[in-house]
A and B are shown apart, each in its own frame.
Chain A
């Protein structure tokens, strides 16, 4: 008996190896791209990083020194307000989709949430400008509304996922005690899902903090000191990185790299932690 295979089998084996090989290379490419991005930003940005850089006001034009404290405060405010807007709405949407909606209505709203997720951020920027900024001075509220639109579908999705992990037996247990649907959601389902909702929110924060387009028209003309009032334009990292990178001055480029590195570290650390916690939650909930 000949078990070595004929010519055709050898050809099939080669095709198989080629396909497997190119898929592996493509996968490695993803790692490589991330690696190059992190490495090049770290290499160019690390030199500028210092305690002073993190704690000082923005530099005067053309002057050396200065820091990014106002950008950190502003970005934190913008994302904080955006979270306060997006989180409750997103959780309610997810609760509606998973616990209340009829299949048909649910599918329609799910589609809208998915479309919202794919909305180009510049369109969100223009929308917010037209709705909240045009005719007024720039302000942080408008920027936060823009970021909350970015976060909304992300938090909705994450919440839906964990709600699905809550066992039906828990809901039945509560309903069998004469609790209404809403009390069941509030008292049993949501508390079980809280960890997952929190990590989903952190992931959305990591995504929103780097969004530039929704802020461009809303909060891009700001002072060089820390601004706490969202009624004014708030200094923020992504827009300032853009402004510095457009500058002619080499020291501004260095600041742009260093700020980019700060942003990158924040995003990487928060997303990684959130993902680890999420993986643990999933395992625990089965």
Chain B
């Protein structure tokens, strides 16, 4: 990184330290200011201002097409993979502009992990799915322990410990999604972005993922996109409600309200939020 800006070191050893020193106050991880993002001439989201705090679960809810996924994919620069992607505004990650000069998307994604809507395990063994990224990033020391720890954190270890050499594709949908979470946390990122991680799962598998999020919160900052309001109400500490607005530029997503989850669901300050959470639209 140029200009002398440095991200805080996030090597494995720091995780324990971080827990001890900073569990009381929630410092700001992302500070998003005036974010506008879109593809080609389409604007997907506009004027988004939002702060995301450390070791907090932040849910992003809203109707289809409100730009939830576009938003979350801005946070680890996954949108860079879409050639027509454009954005304005700033996203500060611990005070560093994520889209600033010299910032490497690869380095960003190494610190800010992501789990996708549809489980996408690699067509490799269960072990190799988790071990692949540590190997690529040169974290080869004590790889077996690292894999075991990641699988345990993802509440999958007991189910797969006897068949680590079996193909990941032999797992059930819910197990595959937990494997993807294990894969993401094997490199010990600081943030986990979950893009509708349970939308393709049955209620029991969904419940397991939600329980998992509560335990992961100790170590990670979690942002979850969900179209399921109950899920947001169950798991999230803070909730951001996005809705669709329109003007001469067309239809685009806007952040309507962002607050503590109970407030969003019981005493929203915006009419649109109330309409949505009470099921009057969306």
Task: Assess the A177–B76 pair: CB atoms within 8 A.
Answer: no
B-binding segment of A64-72, A78-86, A129-137, A180-188: A180-188
Q: Is A28 an interface residue (CB 8 A)?
A: no
Q: Is A24 an interface residue (CB 8 A)?
A: no
B-binding segment of A117-125, A166-174, A221-229, A235-243: A166-174
Q: Is B265 an interface residue (CB 8 A)?
A: no
Sample of 15 A–B contacts (CB below 8 Å): A169-B118, A170-B120, A170-B123, A171-B81, A173-B121, A175-B78, A176-B76, A177-B109, A177-B136, A177-B187, A178-B106, A178-B109, A178-B110, A178-B111, A191-B124
Q: Is A179 an interface residue (CB 8 A)?
A: yes
CB neighbors of A among B117-137 (8 A): 118, 120-124, 132-133, 136-137
Task: Assess the B120–A183 pair: CB atoms within 8 A.
Answer: no
The residues of A that contact B123 with a CB separation of less than 8 Å are 170, 191-192
Residue of B with least CB distance to A181: B106
- Smallest CB separation, A283 vs chain B (Å): 15
B interface residue count range (under 10 / 10 to 19 / 20 to 34 / 35 or more): 20 to 34
- Smallest CB separation, A183 vs chain B (Å): 5
A-B contact count (CB 8 A): 63
**Considering the chains assembled together, what is the distance between the CA atoms of A177 and B120 in angstroms?**
12
Task: Assess the B132–A176 pair: CB atoms within 8 A.
Answer: no
CB neighbors of A among B91-142 (8 A): 106-107, 109-111, 113-114, 116, 118, 120-124, 132-133, 136-137
Task: Assess the B122–A173 pair: CB atoms within 8 A.
Answer: yes
The residues of B that contact A178 with a CB separation of less than 8 Å are 106-107, 109-111, 133, 136-137, 187
Select A187's contact among B110, B132, B187, beta carbons within 8 Å.
Answer: B132
The residues of B that contact A191 with a CB separation of less than 8 Å are 123-124
Q: A170-B122, A173-B116, A176-B114 are in contact. List 8 more A-B contacts (CB 8 A).
A: A102-B83, A173-B120, A173-B121, A176-B109, A177-B132, A178-B136, A187-B132, A192-B123
Residue of A with least CB distance to B193: A176
Select A175's contact among B81, B107, B111, B184, beta carbons within 8 Å.
Answer: B81
Q: Which 3 A-B pairs have the closest CB atoms?
A: A178-B110, A177-B133, A169-B120
The residues of A that contact B187 with a CB separation of less than 8 Å are 177-178
**Considering the chains assembled together, what is the distance between the CA atoms of A191 and B123 in angstroms?**
9
The residues of A that contact B110 with a CB separation of less than 8 Å are 177-178
The residues of B that contact A172 with a CB separation of less than 8 Å are 78, 81, 116, 120
Residue of B with least CB distance to A284: B123
Residue of A with least CB distance to B134: A177
Task: Assess the B136–A183 pair: CB atoms within 8 A.
Answer: yes
Select A179's contact among B78, B106, B111, B180, beta carbons within 8 Å.
Answer: B106
The residues of B that contact A187 with a CB separation of less than 8 Å are 132, 136
| Given known A-B contacts A170-B120, A188-B122, A176 and B184 have beta carbons under 8 A apart | yes
Q: Is B183 an interface residue (CB 8 A)?
A: yes
Residue of A with least CB distance to B117: A169
**Considering the chains assembled together, what is the distance between the CA atoms of A167 and B169 in angstroms?**
14
- Smallest CB separation, B221 vs chain A (Å): 16
